Amino acid sequence: MAAAEEQRNVDPYVLLLAVFGAVVLLTAWLPLVLKELPLSLPMVCIGIGALLVLSPFSPNVGVNPLENRYLTERLTEFVVIVSLMGAGLKLDRPVSWRGWGSTWRLLGIAMPLTIAGIALLGWAVLGLGLAAALLLGAALAPTDPVLASDVQVGPPQSGKEDEVRFALTSEAGLNDGAAFPFVYLAIAVALSQASGGQPFVADWLLIDVLWKIAAGVAIGWVGGKAMGFLVFRLPNRTGLSETRDGFVALGITCLAYGTTELANGYGFLAVFVAAVALRSVERRHHYHENLHTFAEQIERLVMMVLLVCFGAAIAEGTIFGALSWPVIATTALILFVVRPLSGWISLARHPASSPEKAAIAFFGIRGLGSFYYVAYALGQAEFEAPQIIWVTVCSVVLVSIVTHGVLVTPIMRHLDYNRSARSATKETQPL
């Protein structure tokens, strides 16, 4: 009798293994099913996590990614750097001041405006102090490279690189490095307040802004060029491209990130720059497709696991226990006012059409990168109202995933149709 009772008990590990297997299969299958639907893969992942907790087969284990700050930091860190490598590899457009004009505008104008706007909301609406409000702004300003795949360019040499997709891809690749100085500024303010007003501006400017950005760009570019030589230029069939192994992308990613972090630079920035530099060595080689495909598969798998955990945590009720009307109002203002307005201002006088500018300004998807910044900063300094920061970030990410996931397919299809119609009109016009 006791043996029969023991057999009826469900082993949580076995159940989680079965769930993981289902997630792996869905990783491959769902993108095909959702391609023409107003749904996104992240939305489905969150739904799976919620259903898992609400089902009678819930494993009753710690699935909340926010319960363990260190684990949240490391897992989101990994998926972001893999995503950055994939984003850099699929950009066909060479780096130039004019060709990347929309990127520089989004980085230099839209991002600071977004950080300032969110920080102001954090102070005025949520009642946060300077350090916490600045952290909220820095964490929620970047366009997420992981969840923005539906509005990014296609695989290398696929030809799917219109201005909207290029701007959002290149912005997502670079704005993590651009946001990090403001995360460090929030940490410096918090540490200064805790120590009684110790000065920090000079160190922040010299180290967190100048040195870390320069180190990230330099190490990423030199490393990417060196890897390009090893992959494409070695003679007598000894180049890494001859292996045709896609997991080389993972090695390049970890090497670029690790060496840059050891040099106290911005590893996020270095990974994206290394990918762009690698493409520049041999822009049209078919091996780029292998590298990109592997990076995309790893990114998608880890993303799905994390978002299933996010959905499970939502269903448990532990994340949104501090949800309030000020948080809801802040979420709406960030997604529907601050980011779109900042993006639109930054693209003033850009040659893109008005609908394209509106799409670029609106599709600033927030995601797993925001979780990383908050988890990292909370491990470096004490911030007031960390629960308010977390619930606001989670609320923005959730609403962003749902809103953008529903709207991205019809809006991008409409833009593609208009672009094709304009091209056909130009071709039929008499000379």
Q: Residue 334 pLDDT more than 80?
A: yes
**9-18, 89-98, 277-286, 387-396: range with lowest mean pLDDT:** 9-18
For the stretch 224-252, pLDDT in tens is 999 888 888 777 666 677 777 788 889 99
What is the percent of the chain where pLDDT is above 90? Answer: 40
Q: Residue 198 pLDDT more than 60?
A: yes
Q: Residue 264 pLDDT more than 70?
A: yes
CA–CA dist 125, 113 (Å, integer): 18
Q: Residue 5 pLDDT more than 70?
A: no
Angle (CA) 176 251 170, round 5°? 30
* pLDDT value of position 24: 78
* pLDDT value of position 39: 74
What is the pLDDT averaged over residues 162-187?
90
pLDDT, greater one: 431 or 262: 262
What is the pLDDT averaged over residues 198-203?
87
Model pTM? 0.89
**Residues, the chain, total?**
431
Q: Residue 430 pLDDT more than 60?
A: no
Half-sphere exposure of 404 (CA within 13 A, CB side): 28
Q: Residue 23 pLDDT more than 80?
A: no
For every residue of 363-421, DSSP letters joined together read -----HHHHHHHHHHHHHS--S-HHHHHHHHHHHHHHHHHHHHHHHHHHHHHHHHHHHH
Give the confidence band of 1 by pLDDT, cuts at 50, 70, 90: very low
* pLDDT value of position 106: 94
Q: Residue 65 pLDDT more than 70?
A: no
CA–CA dist 85, 253 (Å, integer): 6
For the stretch 112-137, pLDDT in tens is 999 999 999 999 999 999 999 999 99
Q: Residue 325 pLDDT more than 90?
A: yes
* pLDDT value of position 262: 96
* pLDDT value of position 230: 85
Q: Residue 33 pLDDT more than 50?
A: yes
pLDDT, greater one: 174 or 320: 174
